Amino acid sequence: MVKSTSAKLAPAVDFEHSLDELEQLVARMEGGELSLDDSLTAFERGIGLYRHCQQALDKAELRVRLLLDPDAPDTAEPFEPES
């Protein structure tokens, strides 16, 4: 079984790579340079990339919540420095 290169990348790099690829796909689709079959393939790939990015963002948000309030991450309040 061959592992994808994205599995070897650090999470932040993997997220950035996925987001960049997604932006490129959207630009190509909006530019009208793809056939119908290519557009469907690009759309399918884009959905996968979107889901991957969303999952990474959800994990990052959870990590931040846990750092802000490890005992109750669901009620964590953002840190507001005093003025």
Going from N- to C-terminal start, the domains of the chain cover 11-69
Give the pLDDT score at 64: 86
Structure tokens at 35: 């056939």
pLDDT along the chain (83 residues), means of 10: 51 89 94 92 96 92 84 71 69
Residues 6+ apart with CB under 8 A from 64: 76
What is the H or E stretch that residue 19 is in? helix 11-30
Give the pLDDT score at 69: 78
Q: What's 11-69's CATH class? A: mainly alpha
